[in-house]
Every structure is written in C-alpha cells, then in structure tokens.
Structure 1
Amino acid sequence: MNAHDEVLSAAAQLVSAFARNDREAYFGAFSADASFVFYTLPEPLLSRDAYQVLWDSWRQEQGFEVLSCTSSNAFVSLQGDVAIFVHDVATELRMQGEQYFSQERETIVFKRQEPRAQEQKGLWLACHEHLSAMPERLPSP
C-alpha cells in the first residue's frame, strides 16, 4: 500500500472508531502530544490526555454518545512524513438525551511514526485535528 492509501486507511479507522464510540481505538489513533482545535470550545486542547478528560466528562455529565459519523470529499496532501487529510464530516450525536446533527469540515494532520521491529512500514498517527463549522450556504451531503 502506498503512503496516500495508508493515510486514507488511518483516517477511515479514526472516523470509524469515533462513529462507534470506541474510545480506546479513537484515542489510539492520535499521538500523545496531539493538539485539537474545535470551534465549539473556547480554547485549544493541547494534548490527547486533555481531550480524553473532556470526552470522559461529556460522557459522564451529559450522556455524550456518537450515533453516526460519515466522512466525504476526502483529500490527502503528502508532505514527506506528514500528511494533511481534509474532509467533510456529518455527525449525529446525543447529549443530555437530545439528538444533534452537525456538518463540519475537518483537517487532520498525520505523522508517520518510526516503524516497529515487527512492521515493515511506519504507522500514521494523527497529531493535530482542526474542526470548523460548515458554511451554511453549502448543501447537505
């Protein structure tokens, strides 16, 4: 598999883990020093641990649950051992017993990790995620 397809696969696995509320697989797709910029939060989250703490509080205090997540219009730009993945994402979730639907555009930066002894190629882990609201004038996917 070439690097472009590896990144697409890593992104698909990340989105799939999010869609099925698989906390371990979802956060396992990010490096420990990953950063997160979400337009719904007042400030960036500067580590995977910071996001995990927030995720856990959402689940415990607000009944946060992802019901579905669909990626479309994917684009990958390879920059050596870094890849920029951009896509549109439609998400349905539940918080405080109410369902919400959002259409967003997301950029995820992946970095190829050093290969482990049993692997021939390095693993692509997300090191930055930036989520933006979809402009309202665009049609639904």
Structure 2
Amino acid sequence: MNIGKVLQNNMEGWLVLRKEVQAFWTQAQADYTTATVLMDAGIYYASVFFSQQAAEKALKAVALKKQQRNPRGHHLIQIANSLDAPIEVMNASAELNVEFLTSRNPDASDGVPAQIYTRASAEQHLRAADTVLKWAKNLL
C-alpha cells in the first residue's frame, strides 16, 4: 500500500467535502436572505418556501460535516433527528417540514399558496429558519 497515495486521496476527499459543506451553507444563507426580501415584498408563500429551503440546506451542511454524507430528500425532521439536534431545532424543523410542498402546490395546501399565506406566517417561518441557521452556524 502506498501510504502517500492514501493520504493524498484522503486529503482530496476532505477538500471536496469541505467545499460541499461551504456550498450548502452559502446557499442556506442566500435562501434566508431571499426569504427576508420576499417577506418584505409581501410575497409570503415564496418567503415561507425559501425559509424551508434555508433550513434544509443548513441541516445538510451540518450533515455533510458531521456524517460525511448528504441526506437524500427534504424531510427536515429526519435530517435534524439524525444530527441529534436540540429540541428547539427539532421544533423549528417540524414547523418548516411541510412547507416544501404546501407553500408551492395548491393540491398540497388548503387553497392557492399565493393567496393563503400571511405576513405573520412568513415571519413565523423565518424565525424557525433562523433557529436552524443559528444552530448550524455554531457547528460549522
């Protein structure tokens, strides 16, 4: 076994993983900013969707760092649970979990998403995303 080659492969793998963690974290922050801008513009359903996306990408960044894998799917509760997230992050994840579908699809919500979300709802989901992002930032 060529130990130099093994070390080189491990280092290259680590660098690729580190770039992927950074990419997910950067996109999580961008999605959070987008959610804020959309809320301020009165586009509440899209703000809620981007809040969910921000939390999902933040959780995936943590999973990549801690578990060296990118969890498949969009189930925030499962991802947060696999990371042994604290209860406040679990609660925030649960609040945001359904929004992947309901904030975009009339057949998954009680009406047209563009018409049923309010500023209060967008603010609530933005706070939930903020909880997840603050926790993730401390781990990254």
Is TM > 0.5 for Structure 1 vs Structure 2?
Answer: no
Identify the structure with bigger relative contact order (alpha carbons < 8 Å, sequence gap 6+). 2
Which one has the bigger strand percentage?
1
Which one has the bigger helix percentage?
2
Give TM-score, length-normalised by structure 2.
Answer: 0.30
Larger Rg: 2
